């Protein structure tokens, strides 16, 4: 929404109107109190309309429309399970995992990042570590729904080689599939050495470990300090009293025992400064939801710092929502959605005390309030974690383009190497399809799309170029349909036919050097470096080849695949349909349940984009370890 300076004044009033109307809609219990105010406002609106001022009604409608369309978009993401909660703690038992997944399904969370994955120290009898057991159970019962961060075993702290021990733990976690590393607030506040001294957040003994996390591309989530109020007097006047009275151990106001609040934050910043190659997600809104200026300055100073929202919307929501919104817009690539949703014998929704435990229905309300704060412009409503304090919060209504970064795109980039490999389902056709290039056949609507939208090199998401791909199969053929938004096409003219365009000895002259869509398909699980490659340009010029045993490539091979391309210059979309004979890919016909390996790519030269479905995270698309899965279904 663009606004001129001249309109700013009426806008301010309009926003006030919108605020109160939303507040009225949002809070049933407050409806009676607002009745009188509502009437006054309606009178205002009438007055304005009578005065013939469209300046008022138009932005009002625009603001409403913007929120409505954002919410609609976000509901769609939830329906597709795209949202990622970067901050959960799940006790990995079958019961607790089942409960977590049931709630995640109900609220539209696709992936939970379990920060309490456990340590990688082997059991005393040599059996698997806590981390291995947790990951194995979650991956077996709910594949693709969780990733796990590892935790550090400090038991060797007093030994002279602890720095190396810690680094080795990180290497072992990486080998076992830890998506990242989590440190709790115990560092700096609870953990003590053999002499009884608190371990320091910036102790040099930990430097090797922080560095190894960066080298292995394992993001760190780190909690230091806590709300400011936990350093203030321990009595009922403390605004966090309801939490503190049930958790005496959360109170750090004794200066003989604990470092000052700010000293902890500053020690973490020193660590972040010392390790520019390691990404630090500072949880709980950079551990300082009270001071927006400090968060802004720290994020600006340290490019390797991120902030999650876990359990701090009640605190962030107390600030001026316009100021918070500006901060989110400024650091939109650095803020990540997380909640501190915890499933143990007791459910914890951000925080808890001795009150009766929340129900699954309470969890749904909790998540609905998370969405409400990020997506609407509602003012002064009761927040999602009442035990944190008796105050109201105001929503920040992020635009959809920013919201998707906070909900999942930033996390997808952060976790790129640690996310479960994606899966494309090909549905079996009841009849063969004509290739038309516009996907009007209703059979295409039954195929669930996946997207090519991440940079192959580093996982950065390019929503504007998001290319959907659907798959279908018949006993004879595999069908792929690509839908590619574009700004300007870059192609070879005239297209070649009857001969493949490639020259491995020269740059810029092969088909893949201009705009193309690609599919790499491997049918033989025992030979991961053996797969077929298909490319089609917007001119419908084709190329296929067999990668015999990477890097060996057979360009003489021919699959006799067919393709049709339609370029819609008005809508700025080009569509490509491929029909690939299954017999060219495997001697054995697939059946429902067959799994092949697949990766999908798109090159768009005008936007300097080399995009992947499952980003290889390297300089080449030919990275079989990063291929996703093609699943044949009925």
Nearer to Zn ion, 340 or 370 (CB): 340
**Three-state secondary structure string covering 383-451:** CCCHHHCCCEECCCCCCHHHHHHHHHHHHHHHCHHHCCCCEEEEEECCCCCCCCCCCCCHHHHCCCCEE
The minimum distance between CB 308 and Zn ion, in angstroms, equals 9
Smallest distance, Zn ion to C-beta of residue 340, A: 4
CB of 182 to Zn ion, least distance (A): 8
Shortest distance (Å) from residue 211 CB to Zn ion: 24
| Residue whose CB is less far from Zn ion, 308 or 441 | 308
Nearer to Zn ion, 340 or 518 (CB): 340
Task: Kindly tell me which of 113 and 489 has the beta carbon lying closer to Zn ion.
Answer: 113
Residue 626 CB partners (closer than 8 Å, separation 6+): 421, 599, 612, 614, 615, 616, 617, 618
Name which of 353 and 464 has its Cβ closer to Zn ion: 353
**Closest distance to Zn ion from the beta carbon of 355 (Å):** 19
Check binding of 85 to Zn ion (CB under 5 A).
no
Rounded to 5 degrees, what are φ and ψ at 586?
-155, 145
Q: Cβ closer to Zn ion: 340 or 483?
A: 340
Specify whether the CB–CB gap between 259 and 285 falls below 8 A: no
**Cα separation of 404 and 463, whole Å?**
9
User: Reduced to 3 states, what is the DSSP secondary structure of residue 564?
Assistant: strand
Give the SS3 label for residue 24: helix
Inter-residue contact 71 to 99 (CB < 8 Å)? no
Give the angle subtended at the CA of 450 by the CAs of 444 and 455, to the nearest 5°: 140
Cα separation, 197 vs 258, in Å, equals 10
User: What stretches of 269-402 adopt beta strand conformation (E)?
Assistant: 280-282, 305-308, 335-336, 341-343, 347-349, 381-382, 392-393
Site stretch for Zn ion (CB under 5 A), options 338-346, 372-380, 487-495, 599-607: 338-346
Helix (H) or strand (E) holding 66: helix 54-79
> Binding segment for Zn ion among 104-112, 337-345, 377-385, 611-619 (CB under 5 A)?
337-345
Region from 173-181, 295-303, 332-340, 365-373 binding Zn ion, contact rule CB under 5 A? 332-340
Rounded Cα distance between 171 and 168, Å, is 5
Chain centroid to CA 230: 31
Stretch that binds Zn ion, among 228-236, 336-344, 515-523, 625-633 (CB under 5 A): 336-344
Least distance CB 89 / Zn ion (angstroms): 6
- Residue holding tokens 């005008």? 606
Of 7, 3, 4, which Cα lies nearest the Cα of 53?
Answer: 7
Q: Which is nearer to Zn ion, 96 or 205 (CB)?
A: 96
Tell me, by CB under 5 A, how many residues bind Zn ion.
Answer: 1
Q: Toward Zn ion, which CB reaches closer, 287 or 394?
A: 287
Nearer to Zn ion, 87 or 597 (CB): 87
The pair of structure tokens assigned to 73 is: 């978009």
Interface with Zn ion in residues 249-288 (CB under 5 A): none
Interior angle at CA 501, CA 495 and CA 506, nearest 5: 125
Smallest distance from the beta carbon of 359 to Zn ion, in angstroms? 21
* β-sheet bridge partners, residue 306: 281
One character per residue 512-551, x = contact with Zn ion (rule: CB under 5 A): ----------------------------------------
Rounded to a whole number of angstroms, the minimum distance from the CB of residue 84 to Zn ion is 15
Name which of 198, 220, 197 is nearest 209 in CA terms: 220
For Zn ion, the closer of residues 224 and 610 by Cβ is 224
Angle between helices 8-26 and 54-79 (to 10 degrees): 50
Sole window of 317-325, 339-347, 394-402, 424-432 interacting with Zn ion (rule: CB under 5 A) = 339-347
Binding mask 114-133 for Zn ion (x = CB under 5 A): --------------------
Q: Which residues touch 291 (CB under 8 Å, ≥6 apart)?
A: none
Report the residue number, 21 or 90, with the smaller CB distance to Zn ion. 90
**Minimum Å distance from CB 288 to Zn ion?**
15
Q: How far is the CB of 25 from Zn ion (least distance, A)?
A: 32
Assess contact for 277 and 215: CB atoms under 8 A.
yes
Q: Give min distance, CB of 358 to Zn ion, in A.
A: 16
Alpha-carbon distance of 424 to 598, in angstroms, equals 8
Segment interacting with Zn ion, rule: CB under 5 A, options 39-47, 333-341, 424-432, 499-507: 333-341
Sites for Zn ion among residues 471-500 (CB under 5 A): none
As a whole number of angstroms, the distance between CA 597 and CA 634 comes to 18
For Zn ion, the nearest residue by Cβ is 340
Shortest separation between residue 343's beta carbon and Zn ion, angstroms:
12
Q: Cα-flanking dihedrals φ and ψ of residue 527, to 5°?
A: -125, 80
Scan residues 572-591 and list those touching Zn ion (CB under 5 A): none
**Of the listed pieces 67-75, 157-165, 335-343, 544-552, which binds Zn ion according to CB under 5 A?**
335-343
Which parts of 177-260 fold into alpha helices (H)? Answer: 186-189, 207-215, 241-244
Which residue number, 226 or 577, has a Cβ lying nearer to Zn ion? 226
**What is the nearest approach in angstroms of Zn ion to the Cβ of residue 88?**
8
340 near Zn ion, judged by CB under 5 A: yes
Binding site for Zn ion (CB under 5 A): 340
């Amino acid at each position: 929404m663009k606004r001129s300076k001249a309109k700013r004044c009426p806008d301010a009033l309009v926003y006030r109107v919108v605020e109160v109307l939303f507040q009225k809609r949002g809070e049933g219990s407050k409806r009676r109190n607002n009745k009188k105010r509502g009437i006054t406002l309606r009178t205002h609106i009438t007055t304005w309309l009578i005065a013939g001022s469209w300046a008022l009604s138009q932005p009002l409608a625009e603001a409403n429309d913007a929120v409505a369309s954002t919410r609609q978009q976000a509901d769609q993401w939830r329906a597709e399970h795209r949202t990622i909660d970067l901050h959960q703690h799940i006790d990995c038992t079958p019961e607790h995992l089942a409960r977590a997944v049931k709630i995640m399904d109900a609220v539209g969370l696709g992936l939970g990042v379990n920060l309490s994955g456990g340590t990688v120290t082997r059991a005393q009898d040599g059996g698997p570590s806590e981390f291995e057991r947790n990951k194995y159970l979650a991956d077996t019962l709910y594949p693709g729904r969780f990733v796990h961060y590892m935790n550090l075993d400090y038991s060797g702290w007093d030994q002279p080689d602890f720095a190396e021990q810690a680094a080795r733990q990180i290497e072992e976690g990486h080998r076992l599939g830890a998506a990242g590393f989590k440190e709790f607030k115990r560092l700096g506040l609870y953990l003590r050495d053999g002499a009884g001294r608190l371990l320091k957040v910036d102790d040099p003994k930990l430097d090797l470990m922080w560095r190894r996390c960066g080298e292995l591309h394992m993001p760190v989530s780190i909690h230091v300090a806590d709300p400011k109020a936990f350093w203030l007097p321990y009595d009922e006047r403390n605004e966090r009293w309801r939490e503190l009275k049930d958790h005496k151990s959360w109170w750090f106001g004794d200066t003989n025992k604990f470092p000052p609040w700010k000293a902890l934050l500053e020690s973490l910043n020193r660590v972040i400064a010392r390790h520019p190659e390691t990404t630090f997600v500072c949880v709980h809104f950079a551990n300082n939801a009270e001071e927006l200026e400090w968060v802004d300055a720290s994020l600006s100073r340290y490019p390797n710092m991120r902030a999650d929202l876990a359990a701090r919307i009640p605190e962030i929501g107390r600030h001026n929502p316009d100021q918070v919104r500006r901060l989110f817009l400024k650091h939109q690539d650095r803020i990540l959605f997380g909640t501190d949703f915890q499933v143990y014998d007791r459910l914890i929704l951000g925080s808890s005390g001795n009150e009766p435990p929340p129900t699954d229905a309470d969890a749904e309300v909790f998540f609905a309030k998370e969405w409400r704060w990020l997506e609407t412009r509602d003012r002064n409503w009761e927040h999602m974690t009442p035990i944190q304090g008796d105050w109201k919060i105001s929503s920040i209504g992020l635009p959809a383009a920013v919201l998707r970064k906070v909900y999942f795109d930033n996390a997808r980039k952060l976790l790129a190497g640690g996310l479960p490999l994606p899966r494309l389902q090909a549905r079996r056709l009841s009849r063969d399809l004509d290739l038309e290039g516009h996907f009007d056949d209703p059979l295409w609507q039954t195929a669930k799309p996946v997207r090519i939208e991440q940079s192959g090199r580093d996982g950065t998401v390019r929503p504007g170029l998001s290319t959907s791909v659907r798959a279908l199969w018949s006993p004879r053929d595999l069908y792929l349909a690509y839908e590619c938004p574009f700004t300007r096409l870059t192609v070879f003219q005239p297209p070649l036919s009857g001969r493949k365009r490639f020259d491995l000895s020269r740059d810029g002259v092969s088909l893949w050097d201009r705009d193309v869509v690609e599919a790499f398909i491997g049918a033989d699980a025992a030979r991961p470096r053996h797969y077929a490659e298909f490319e089609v340009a917007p001119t419908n010029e084709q190329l296929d080849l067999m990668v015999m045993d990477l890097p060996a490539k057979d360009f003489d091979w021919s699959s006799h695949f067919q393709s049709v391309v339609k370029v819609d210059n008005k809508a700025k979309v080009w569509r490509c349909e491929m029909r690939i004979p299954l017999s060219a890919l495997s001697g054995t016909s697939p059946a429902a349940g067959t799994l092949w390996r697949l990766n999908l790519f798109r090159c768009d030269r005008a936007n300097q984009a080399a995009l992947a479905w499952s980003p290889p995270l390297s300089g080449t698309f030919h990275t079989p370890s990063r291929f996703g899965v093609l699943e044949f279904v009925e």
